[in-house]
Structure 1
């Protein structure tokens, strides 16, 4: 089986050395450092480890789990151990999703290079694999697990055990019949290619054959016209069906003669249905497809709360890794809680708790490095400033010096704006959100005066010192809102002018009421709301909140009582047009599934355009009581079948799953609903449901669909198997596969569910 991958994988010296195995030191903390023997398996795709060479080995990771390999000096943990090990001997394996990084130290710089280069070579190879190669890789992984004595062949007993691991409950006689048919060498065992044939026989998709035969005159192939009919009638591809049919045949038909004759075989048809083009998520919504030239407040902005935390809020670890992960996943607004630190250096941590601390300058350096790796659109630094005047000065210096050209420190053209700039205008810019001593108008006036003074006076230095004295005296005059607050203000640190000046378009102001904001605030002033305050405002004054968010930015943050870093449902805040709905992105679950579902579209750039009725300052929309709009739709989902559904915990050889599918809709309150299929007993491999669920939706522009597969359990709550969330506006109709994701948002390839989606205009039973 290993030869399957090696046939395509260009083997080099590094990989051969890794396959021999090597002692590396695994580092979990400053006190936990242990030698382990790591070895790349012969398939070139999995790394196993043992306590020593020749010891009992167990799987560590699959190459498809790895996102990238980092050098030692990029690891906080390895940097803290620099006195014990040279940083050049260390490296970090970064995994997809929320899995913790793996820090390793080799015995020499040469050995570290072998592993770093070899792993990166394999990661690049896996990233470039097509659908068929990924399936071969998945089979190769299973073959490795089933082949207990690692002799490259599998007996029927090993195959039976493997089927159980793969979630297949099968009649023993039938399984043995398929085994014998596949064993063409008649050796009583299955080798690589024989195992593939056995798997193919096992996974024959009769439900797809039926669809194919409905459109194929001879049951053998789809002619170009037959395929066009299928795309038009079932897949609702409309006018583009003819051109698309040619394109898809060229892309998915495996045989050259089929391509030449413009026909699609059953294999080609299945390949299309399992591809990006056959996915429920419309491929046209995957790149940046929205207008990015509207003001910032017209977009939902992917925002993170307590970004520095990788655990809970009481004694979790603070780490720059939190910023790296948030920025890599498309967050465009990150939070920085800054407190006075030792030696005059500000630190970042969750105040008044036991969470660990990180230097502020390390956070800024990390943001500078990772801000634009995933998206070119602006990053907002939401500063929670608890520092003394002196350390605020240090904050301003670090921001200016480390971020350099990336930092936006004045309006784009030096002129007073009439609305917020667009993501397009702010490309590759980092904006500071925080308190500000004065208005933007006063700042700009002063800049003009400063320029005039400099040109008038020969001794520019005198002007500078005069200005500094003027600025230093200003906080006391400007910061109190009223005289009776003076006492309270005196006990708080006064805002430092140099830090205040770096806040341009995102001045933080307290919220009193919508009427007060309209009367006293400007469009570049932004208010923050706790989740409970925002919720009560939606109930009391939903339409006013919608209008407020059409001209000003709002940030909503999780309740301080969520010490476990849990999340709220972002949907009801989006319904009111709130832009920065901040989440604990480190915490997996339903709420983050919804969040990731919305931001999966538009190139994952972190900005999603709000529907037009949430961008209109005179909007009559009320999120709690939407007047039934003319765009109401009825959705029919036929849940047909499932493919290769994993067990929740593959380490336990317990019973096979009994899967059911739940479809959940999140949107305005009347649209929020859930329905589920019955469960299929003892079959996670190819369960068949064939059930139709029906939903009526008043405001489709705000709706998201979450498909969840659960393992039925009458004793307890059903166990989670996988999920996928898609915005209504990005959903394709027709026969579609939904490729499932784990709790951490990692692909569970090849696990999927096969559905038929149909959307009708209006509500069922509505004559209008």
Structure 2
């Protein structure tokens, strides 16, 4: 596999990961927007548009403009100012990165890490569990493993109240003398090449596993191919102390100087200010639960079973009677959370909430509750400290939350299932398109702002938008559709902030990813290069708009009696949707950049609003 990381799509086609949506790889995006020719229908409309503009340049120059990057509806991103502390940025983030499909039965694979990193993702998740003697080794990773056997083993160990992996580890080397610290009592088995090593999978399900070592190697190889901006590793640790020691060894071996090293004195981390983004280029940060150093008097005691934040939701939504108790964290592993120390969230008044290097991970449901109970505290906290939001565990199909709702709360890390194409991943593409995966927040959301509430963080505007559709060219077909029966129409959705969001009230639909608040669609046409006959869609008098946090989504749908299938799409942050005669470049339903375009004319006007 070359640095482009080819990915096999469901219909069998293999394409470079850099051609898939995700927000990153600006050079690849620019190349994909070059058109070698224009369909006759578009050329005819272009001539009329050129004549109406009084021919200020040659017609050939106008055609060249439409075929070049300059004619794209997507404006280039502004240069990213790297001088702010890292809490002042939105970070393109993945949830359950190892899964290739749904949350219950899909495979785990290193390909997920290669794929999202090449597409601009800067925060990936690893769920780590104790290894088993019959877990696939690096050299055996291609072998199929029976889902029934895998699930039976895990459930059997769960019902007995212990992990089968713990039984396998009883032959581990003996502990150090009783007076040694806990970190010295863990022997990482450095000389045993046949040792059991940790594995990555979605717990309590029939998902397949992959070796933790292979995941770390994939991250090493692909973390900084398309972006030099830092990568955050969100660790969900379900392993024993012995296996945690192996995790530390593997990460240090694989990542070497890329790994952000802890200071010599672990207590110094509590007082460290968050660094500027510029200081973390080509660095890997580990987000892991913080565990204070074990006093010598307690070092010989049995590990304490205690609750821990769960970042993926795999435990959170399970009945209490089947939950596995959390193990104590190994000090060496915990210390790797230099600027991303994870603490269990109780309230914004808890002492840990003032530690500069802390991070809270909350599920979408908990965040919605916090939004209603303490909106001021939520917004103020996220101006200066890191927070991660993730989909609730009952999203078995790997569907996504609405990231815009959480970005508008100031949440920096909104984790999405990148293997699922829905409104959530399309909005993520719009937010990070053509960037290195870190985006500076609007000024009112940064630590330098005096704003204490969401409603005071931005200047709200009224929007009037007019989109005239001329024609399409090379529109991709939905799966299993033939061109002769393809009946496309374009649906335009405007995703803007709801009044309830800024007022701290219950948000209709919660954090669910769904259609935009305002919707319009064209008439149905025919074929892959349709004529839309200059139909105009209007969005008049839309209030409470923040351009940097509002989005316009275009969906090409196939008009069908039973269900209208998605054929293609494009999504834009409103402030980057360019006015004038433009080409909208389309992704297909699998998120792959195509040669399909829509020729349109866009007019938008923003006027001052009271903001309520």
TM-score greater than 0.5 by the shorter chain: yes
| Residues 1:636 and 2:465 aligned together | yes
Counterpart in the other structure of 1:762? 608
1:102, distance to aligned residue in structure 2 (A): 6.0
Q: How many residues align?
A: 503
- SS where residue 705 of structure 1 aligns? strand
The 5 A counterparts of 1:113-262 are 135=36, 202-203=40-41, 205-216=43-54, 222=55, 226=56
- Whole-angstrom distance in 1 between the partners of 2:33 and 2:482: 28
More deviation, 681-690/408-417: 408-417
Are 2:585 and 2:597, in contact at CA under 8 Å, matched by a contact in 1? yes
Q: Structure 1 residues 629 and 550 mapped into 2: Cα distance closer, same or farther (>3 Å)?
A: closer
Task: List per-residue Cα deviations over 1:680-721 (Å, max 9, x = no partner).
Answer: 4435423223314124242223111112222333x3343322
The 5 A counterparts of 1:305-704 are 305-342=95-132, 343-411=195-263, 417-438=271-292, 472=299, 492-516=326-350, 521-601=354-434, 603=435, 605-616=436-447, 620=451, 622-623=453-454, 626=455, 630-646=459-475, 648-649=477-478, 652-653=481-482, 655-670=484-499, 673-687=517-531, 688-695=533-540, 696-698=542-544, 699-704=546-551
- Whole-angstrom distance in 1 between the partners of 2:387 and 2:246: 28
Q: Structure 1 residues 507 and 127 mapped into 2: Cα distance closer, same or farther (>3 Å)?
A: closer
Counterpart in the other structure of 2:91? 301
> Of 53, 56, 59, which aligns to 1:266?
59
- SS where residue 350 of structure 2 aligns? helix
- Whole-angstrom distance in 2 between the partners of 1:738 and 1:431: 37
Kindly name which structure, 1 or 2, has the bigger radius of gyration based on alpha carbons: 1
- Whole-angstrom distance in 1 between the partners of 2:199 and 2:558: 45
TM-score normalized by structure 1? Answer: 0.60
1:581, distance to aligned residue in structure 2 (A): 0.7
CA RMSD, 1 decimal = 3.6
Are 1:475 and 1:494, in contact at CA under 8 Å, matched by a contact in 2? no
Q: Structure 1 residues 697 and 563 mapped into 2: Cα distance closer, same or farther (>3 Å)?
A: same
1:759, distance to aligned residue in structure 2 (A): 2.0
Task: List per-residue Cα deviations over 1:263-290 (Å, max 9, x = no partner).
Answer: x43122122023211111113x1xx612
Task: List per-residue Cα deviations over 1:153-191 (Å, max 9, x = no partner).
Answer: xxxxxxxxxxxxxxxxxxxxxxxxxxxxxxxxxxxxxxx
- The structure richer in helix per residue is 1
1:571, distance to aligned residue in structure 2 (A): 1.2
Q: Structure 1 residues 650 and 533 mapped into 2: Cα distance closer, same or farther (>3 Å)?
A: closer
- Whole-angstrom distance in 2 between the partners of 1:606 and 1:497: 31
1:664, distance to aligned residue in structure 2 (A): 1.3
Are 2:553 and 2:569, in contact at CA under 8 Å, matched by a contact in 1? yes
1:393, distance to aligned residue in structure 2 (A): 0.7
- Whole-angstrom distance in 2 between the partners of 1:568 and 1:585: 12
- Whole-angstrom distance in 1 between the partners of 2:374 and 2:214: 42
- SS where residue 738 of structure 1 aligns? strand
Are 1:647 and 1:657, in contact at CA under 8 Å, matched by a contact in 2? no
More deviation, 609-618/647-656: 647-656
Q: Structure 1 residues 307 and 324 mapped into 2: Cα distance closer, same or farther (>3 Å)?
A: same
Counterpart in the other structure of 2:160? none
1:722, distance to aligned residue in structure 2 (A): 1.5
Are 2:483 and 2:527, in contact at CA under 8 Å, matched by a contact in 1? no
Query: Gapped runs of 5+ residues in structure 1?
Result: 1-68, 72-91, 104-125, 137-198, 217-221, 227-263, 444-466, 482-489
- Whole-angstrom distance in 2 between the partners of 1:531 and 1:327: 24
Q: Structure 1 residues 472 and 405 mapped into 2: Cα distance closer, same or farther (>3 Å)?
A: farther
Counterpart in the other structure of 1:290? 80
Are 1:675 and 1:693, in contact at CA under 8 Å, matched by a contact in 2? no
The 5 A counterparts of 1:22-33 are none
1:572, distance to aligned residue in structure 2 (A): 0.7
Counterpart in the other structure of 2:20? none
Q: Structure 1 residues 678 and 433 mapped into 2: Cα distance closer, same or farther (>3 Å)?
A: closer
Counterpart in the other structure of 2:184? none
- Whole-angstrom distance in 2 between the partners of 1:403 and 1:468: 30
- Whole-angstrom distance in 2 between the partners of 1:311 and 1:270: 42
Q: Structure 1 residues 424 and 97 mapped into 2: Cα distance closer, same or farther (>3 Å)?
A: farther
- Whole-angstrom distance in 2 between the partners of 1:271 and 1:655: 31
- Whole-angstrom distance in 2 between the partners of 1:387 and 1:749: 47
- SS where residue 409 of structure 1 aligns? coil
Q: Structure 1 residues 471 and 502 mapped into 2: Cα distance closer, same or farther (>3 Å)?
A: farther
Task: List per-residue Cα deviations over 1:334-388 (Å, max 9, x = no partner).
Answer: 1111111024311111112111111111111111111111111111111111111
Q: Structure 1 residues 505 and 475 mapped into 2: Cα distance closer, same or farther (>3 Å)?
A: farther
- Whole-angstrom distance in 2 between the partners of 1:680 and 1:409: 58
- Whole-angstrom distance in 2 between the partners of 1:735 and 1:627: 35
Are 1:305 and 1:582, in contact at CA under 8 Å, matched by a contact in 2? yes
Are 2:235 and 2:288, in contact at CA under 8 Å, matched by a contact in 1? yes
- Whole-angstrom distance in 2 between the partners of 1:128 and 1:532: 35
1:214, distance to aligned residue in structure 2 (A): 2.3
